[in-house]
C-alpha cells in the first residue's frame, strides 16, 4: 500500500525527487515513433492500413466511417446510456459556452484604440484513444469546445475495434456533436496522419487528445517537426488528495483507486495531516481493491504511489503546489480558505462529496488536463484552446497627433529610421 513520508523531514533534493514523475520515454519508443511518422508521411493511407493490421489486428477496407455508419452504431446503445451521454453533453456545453467572450476596446490614448478578437482554429484533430475500450467522455471534452469555438473542420481519429468499427457510445457522441465522419486510426500513426495529411485524412492545424507513450511522443515530435501545434504535453493520469481528520477514509481510498485504475503508470498521492489517516486509508484501499475488475492494474499503480504526512493543511498545500497535480481533491471541511493558496493544479475538487470522477464525465468541466508537473505552466483544455486571439488597433488623426512623436523618438533610439518615417510621413500630410 501507500509508502509514507514526513514532509518536514524531506530535504530539498528528496522533495524534488518525490514530485518528479514520468520521465521521457525510452530511446526505443522515440525511434519507433519516428519510423511510424516517416512511413505515414511517405506512404499515406497504405501505411495506416498496414499499421491497423499490425497493431489493431484489423483488416480495413476503408479508413473511415461515414454518417450512415455512425447513425447505425449510435442506436446500438440503450436509452439510459443515451440519456447519460446527453446530460454530460449538456453540462459540458453549458460550462464551456461561457468561456467565449468578446473583450472590450481599450482607448490607450485619445484616438488610439486597441482590442482583441477571437478567431477559431480552422482545422483541429481530435485523438480519441480506446479501440475496444469505451471512451466517449474524451470525445465530448474535446468536441464540445471545438464546436463552441467555431472550428470549421473537426477531424476525429480513433483506433478500430476488432469489428473494424467503433463502439456505439463514441458513435452517439459523434451524433451529438454533429460530426459525420470518424477515421479508424490509432496510435502514433494517427497523430502523424493528422500532422502531415494523407490521401484520406486532412492535415490539421492543432492536435488534441490523450494517449499512451507512443501517442504522447508523437505529439511532442510533430510539434517540432511540422507547423502543427498540440494542446499540451501529457503523460499518465494522476491525482493528489489532501485529507484532514474530517475526511472519510473510505471516500479518500475510492478517489485514489479511481485514478490508479487508469493504468499501471498512473499515480495517486495522499497528503494527510496525520499518519493515522494514511493507515486508515490503506485499510480501505485493500478492501476496495479486492473487488475491482482492474485490481491488478490499480495495484501496480499504487506501488509507485505514496502518502505524505504534514503538520497542517497549509503545509499540505505547499506540497501540492510543488507536485502540481493534474487533479487535486481537498477532502476537508476547511476547503474554502485553501482555494486562494492553490497555485498549481489542473482541476480542483472541493469538499467531501466532489469526486474527481464527476469532472471526468458530467459536471461540465474539462478532463483534458496537464500532467507530470505541467500544471505549473499549462491550463486544461477549454474553448480558448480552440481559438487564437488576434489584436487590432485603429488610430485616428487625433490619435496620431497624440502618439506620433513618442513612436518617432523610440524608433530613432533603436536606429530604425524607416519606422520613424512611417509616422512622420503621415504627420506631414
Q: How far apart are CA 304 and CA 298, in angstroms?
A: 10
- From the centroid of its chain, how far is CA 378? 9
The answer for residues whose C-beta is within 8 angstroms of residue 154's C-beta and 6 or more apart is: 124, 126, 143, 146, 147, 177, 179
Annotate 68-112 with three-state secondary structure. Answer: HHHHHHHCCCCHHHHHHHHHHHHHHHHHHHCCCCCCCCEEEECCE
Give yes or no: 17 in active site. Answer: no
Which of the residues 93, 262, 284, 327 is marked catalytic? 327
Give yes or no: 397 in active site. Answer: no
Beta strands at 206-208 and 306-309: parallel, antiparallel or unpaired: unpaired
Task: Please say whether the beta carbons of 320 and 271 come within 8 A.
Answer: yes
Which of the residues 280, 326, 356, 408 is marked catalytic? 326
Q: Is the dihedral of CA 279, 348, 376, 267 positive or negative?
A: positive
Q: What number of residues does the chain have? A: 429
Please identify every residue annotated as catalytic.
Answer: 326-327
Amino acid at each position: 500500500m501507500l509508502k509514507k513520508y514526513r514532509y518536514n523531514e524531506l530535504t530539498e533534493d528528496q522533495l524534488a525527487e518525490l514530485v518528479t514523475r514520468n520521465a521521457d520515454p525510452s530511446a526505443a519508443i522515440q525511434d519507433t515513433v519516428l519510423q511510424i511518422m516517416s512511413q505515414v508521411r511517405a506512404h499515406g493511407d497504405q501505411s495506416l492500413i498496414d499499421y491497423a493490421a499490425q497493431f489493431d489486428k484489423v483488416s480495413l477496407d476503408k479508413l473511415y466511417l461515414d454518417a450512415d455508419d455512425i447513425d447505425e452504431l449510435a442506436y446500438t446503445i440503450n436509452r439510459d446510456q443515451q440519456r447519460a451521454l446527453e446530460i454530460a453533453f449538456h453540462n459540458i456545453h453549458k460550462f464551456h459556452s461561457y468561456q467565449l467572450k468578446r473583450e472590450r476596446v481599450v482607448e490607450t490614448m485619445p484616438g488610439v484604440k486597441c482590442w482583441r478578437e477571437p478567431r477559431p482554429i480552422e482545422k483541429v484533430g481530435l485523438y480519441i484513444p480506446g479501440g475496444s475500450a469505451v471512451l466517449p467522455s474524451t470525445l465530448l471534452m474535446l468536441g464540445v469546445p471545438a464546436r463552441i469555438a467555431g472550428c470549421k473542420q473537426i477531424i476525429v481519429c480513433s483506433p478500430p475495434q476488432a469489428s473494424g468499427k467503433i463502439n456505439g457510445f463514441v458513435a452517439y457522441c459523434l451524433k451529438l456533436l454533429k460530426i459525420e465522419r470518424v477515421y479508424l486510426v490509432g496510435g502514433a500513426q494517427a497523430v502523424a496522419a493528422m500532422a502531415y495529411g494523407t490521401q484520406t485524412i486532412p492535415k490539421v492545424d492543432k492536435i488534441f487528445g490523450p494517449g499512451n507513450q507512443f501517442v504522447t511522443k508523437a505529439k511532442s515530435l510533430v510539434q517540432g517537426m511540422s507547423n502543427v501545434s498540440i494542446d499540451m504535453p501529457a503523460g499518465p493520469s494522476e491525482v493528489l488528495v489532501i485529507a484532514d481528520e474530517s475526511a472519510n477514509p473510505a471516500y479518500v481510498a475510492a478517489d485514489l483507486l479511481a485514478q490508479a485504475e487508469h493504468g499501471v503508470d498512473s499515480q495517486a498521492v495522499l497528503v494527510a495531516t496525520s499518519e493515522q489517516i494514511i493507515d486508515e486509508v490503506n485499510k480501505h484501499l485493500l478492501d476496495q481493491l479486492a473487488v475491482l475488475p482492474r485490481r491488478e492494474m490499480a495495484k501496480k499503480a499504487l506501488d509507485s504511489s505514496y502518502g505524505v504526512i504534514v503538520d497542517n493543511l497549509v503545509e499540505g498545500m505547499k506540497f501540492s503546489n510543488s507536485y502540481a497535480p493534474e487533479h487535486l481533491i481537498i477532502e476537508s471541511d476547511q476547503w474554502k480558505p485553501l482555494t486562494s493558496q492553490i497555485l498549481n493544479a489542473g482541476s480542483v475538487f472541493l469538499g467531501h462529496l466532489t469526486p474527481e470522477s464527476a469532472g471526468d464525465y458530467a459536471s461540465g468541466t474539462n478532463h483534458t488536463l496537464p500532467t507530470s508537473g505541467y500544471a505549473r505552466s499549462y491550463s486544461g483544455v477549454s474553448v480558448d484552446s480552440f481559438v487564437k486571439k488576434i489584436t487590432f488597433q485603429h488610430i485616428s488623426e487625433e490619435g496620431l497627433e497624440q502618439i506620433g512623436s513618442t513612436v518617432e523618438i523610440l524608433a530613432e533610439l533603436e536606429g530604425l529610421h524607416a519606422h520613424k518615417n512611417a509616422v512622420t510621413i503621415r504627420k506631414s500630410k
